[in-house]
Structure 1
């Protein structure tokens, strides 16, 4: 693949090779001490541990990695100078940057919109004659199209609704409530109109989730509730038939909320239904049930129930925090808290401890990848120094922070952490087994790309360096995994 070769060319000065089979290895690291995708020299001493790549045992195939085109992100990017806007989008979508290949956007407004809005604002418009995506023409659509023009690889786009128009709901409100049964078919047609409208703009919707967080929230922002049975009814008898009638091949993902006990409950209900399974692509998950646990048992159970279906992590962010501007050290300290620090129930409070933001990102991605997740999508790509704009005042952190008054941006360490995966584990890559990789405070995962190259990602959450040796087919390379760091080793024929 062109992207992998270009990255390896940049790292060629630090590569070591085996002449007999012409295998080459190179490595980059991001550390708490300031390295950012920095080249790693080979290690000449004795390793502390050995990792063996076993390509004979394979698992899931990767769809991609990326972030979300929210109205907040798009609005901020449009307020930057054209030059700085292009720089940020290149940082995310060019092969010299993170090279994102899987992204998300919202259908109607979300909490990360400037206001609440719907594409079907006219009450009682059962034929959706007044349907319009005009609200997105000032920001979301032009930013997606500019990103399309920058990306050499292309990216898939997932679209998710936070709520139907209030006039379709039992509480007639943006927040909470349920879709009234008499509007199920209209809401299914709404999805089709949305996909067709974006297609007319040159933007293909690869997949939709039925509902962002169907268990709801505490009414601070757009939401709509489903039970598993209600979601099944909507998909089987309304959404899927509408897609079929309109010739739409967008994939359907169910659930779209947190891993853990709720995921297992929904998977047991939905993935044991043969009729529903025939109409869906897989399951979408989020990370907000814990600051440290990626709930592997729930992911394993979801895979076991439907091994031919797919699991995609569609949302994650440092929530309930105002961004720290140009303060790399904060992102490597155990100081961040989440919503659950204040609001979790007593029985789940232990899941919401203080955490290191850089570790949380890398830990969740590696934990997900090692448990059948095929794609991982961050939330907002860009936010301002307050953690918005956000009409719900639900402040969060993004990998890139923008100050539109100064026309400046700050690439936080989180941007570089995500890049350790998105740059080097490409769509079509297959996870392969590792032997000897388990260490306290260390996490690893490894993938074989379609071009035959390998990407081994290692996370060191300890305060000690860890010299290691990686072996593949009888050949070996040694590197030093620094304390408080993430490193990606590449091996190529």
Structure 2
């Protein structure tokens, strides 16, 4: 019997393709083209596709991509599904409008957002202050008989389920703003500290929440111990937890309760300006084995500390878990550049597996909220009166990464930062390569992007953000 020609045909095709790529690699102007997507400092271009870039003679500052040198594997990019965001999605939009917006935010042909943060109980972006186990003042509930998911089931859970239908690979991180009031020394959701005798009940509160989320088809991959544990807000839920408090709670209660559950514990979930706090917890021999990594916020300090903490504990993961834009920074170009440099590029180069911004959606009055930030800006603004959706600069900053850097991508080496140029690069699982870059200077700059024995010449206007995408064939150069 004659052998099937299919294996021979496939082998011949592969050989011809390899020969063609090898030949192109040595012909000036030949080789894979790069797609270019750009956003300008003046907002005239917003994540717009430009002319493809062909290889050839290149001049300018050299940026070398090396797909053979890899670092962290990416989880993704996204924002927070706060109560405010979920309420707007579920009540301010018609079903058809919501379907279209979710396809745009979470779909592969849209932004592809795939990493969302979820408050456990109320944050300042909730219509009322609540926990998942509220009882009348003076009472307690150590057996959690009053535990209820009724509030998140109104808007948050349906919105998350709808997002997951669009993007089944959605990854969730959950964070509490406060333990139930009866567990705290303040007997209030506002201010106070968790009582030591409530550690067991609070760990059970976490496990009950995580179980209910799994039942809803929303498994939570990561959980932080406490949102912003160094801060006690005046007018919305919060809870101070010192490093010693967090280490003791994790070591004696939360860590054992979540061991083997599939949910990983993240430490800190607060600003860059106090790296000594997560370092103290990671130095605790009883707590550290239960801690998978460190999450960071943007509201103080220098993003370089993320890399310093990672260098001290290279086995721990890094995530960037909160930053909000707002009316305090109204200049489009300045805010866009700062966010791209500090919330996308700096975390990635420090080893972060993902970036999560704050509210996915807010209304034109910067709410709904009760206390807290009165001029924060969402990734999108939704007008409840009309259903009109406005895409804010956060939408485009996220999109430059989330639309092209897929879950499971690995960061590849792109060399040291160049004068005026911030950058980070990735290889997707399909072999395609992605470069994120911004010209932070005040003048146009030329960049020579080197990959193997090919180079691409790129001219970047002042303030410009660009994403370049090469097909999988480029990985073989």
Q: TM-score range by the shorter chain?
A: 0.7 to 0.9
State the match for 1:489 in structure 2: 468
Relative distance call for 1:19 and 1:413 in structure 2 (3 A) is farther
Q: Say whether residues 1:252 and 2:234 are aligned partners.
A: no
Q: Could you tell me which of 443, 462, 471 is aligned with 1:464?
A: 443
How many angstroms apart in 1 are the aligned matches of 2:328 and 2:108? 30
How many angstroms apart in 1 are the aligned matches of 2:163 and 2:339? 23
State the match for 1:400 in structure 2: 380
Q: Point out where structure 2 has 5 or more consecutive residues left out of the alignment.
A: 1-20, 26-30
How many angstroms apart in 1 are the aligned matches of 2:116 and 2:416? 34
Q: CA deviation at 1:323?
A: 9.7
Spell out the pairing of 1:157-306 with structure 2 (5 A cutoff): 157-244=172-259, 248-260=261-273, 262-263=274-275, 265-289=276-300, 293-294=302-303, 296=304, 298-306=305-313
Q: Say whether residues 1:72 and 2:84 are aligned partners.
A: yes
Q: Could you tell me which of 384, 392, 409 is aligned with 1:429?
A: 409
* CA distances 1:222-259 after superposition (whole Å, capped 9, x unpaired): 11011111101111111122224xx6221111111001
How many angstroms apart in 1 are the aligned matches of 2:43 and 2:379? 18
Relative distance call for 1:323 and 1:134 in structure 2 (3 A) is farther
Spell out the pairing of 1:436-455 with structure 2 (5 A cutoff): 437-440=417-420, 442-455=421-434
**TM-score, scaled to structure 2:** 0.87
Q: Say whether residues 1:380 and 2:391 are aligned partners.
A: no
Q: Say whether residues 1:142 and 2:158 are aligned partners.
A: yes
Q: Is the 8 A contact 2:174 2:220 kept in 1?
A: yes
State the match for 2:400 in structure 1: 420
Q: Could you tell me which of 21, 24, 32 is aligned with 1:20?
A: 24
Q: Which runs of 4+ in 1 moved over 6 A?
A: none
Q: Point out where structure 1 has 5 or more consecutive residues left out of the alignment.
A: 1-16, 325-329, 333-355
Relative distance call for 1:436 and 1:67 in structure 2 (3 A) is closer
Q: CA deviation at 1:55?
A: 2.8
Q: CA RMSD in A?
A: 2.0
* CA distances 1:133-164 after superposition (whole Å, capped 9, x unpaired): 01011100100000011115x11100000001
Q: Say whether residues 1:357 and 2:358 are aligned partners.
A: no
Q: Is the 8 A contact 2:271 2:297 kept in 1?
A: yes
State which structure, 1 or 2, has the greater radius of gyration over its C-alpha atoms.
2
Spell out the pairing of 1:111-130 with structure 2 (5 A cutoff): 111-122=124-135, 123-130=139-146
Q: Is the 8 A contact 2:58 2:455 kept in 1?
A: no
Q: Is the 8 A contact 2:282 2:291 kept in 1?
A: no
How many angstroms apart in 1 are the aligned matches of 2:382 and 2:314? 41
How many angstroms apart in 2 are the aligned matches of 1:387 and 1:465? 36
In the comparison of the two structures, how many residue pairs are matched?
A: 438
How many angstroms apart in 2 are the aligned matches of 1:285 and 1:393? 19
Spell out the pairing of 1:25-36 with structure 2 (5 A cutoff): 25-31=34-40, 32-36=42-46
Spell out the pairing of 1:472-483 with structure 2 (5 A cutoff): 472-483=451-462
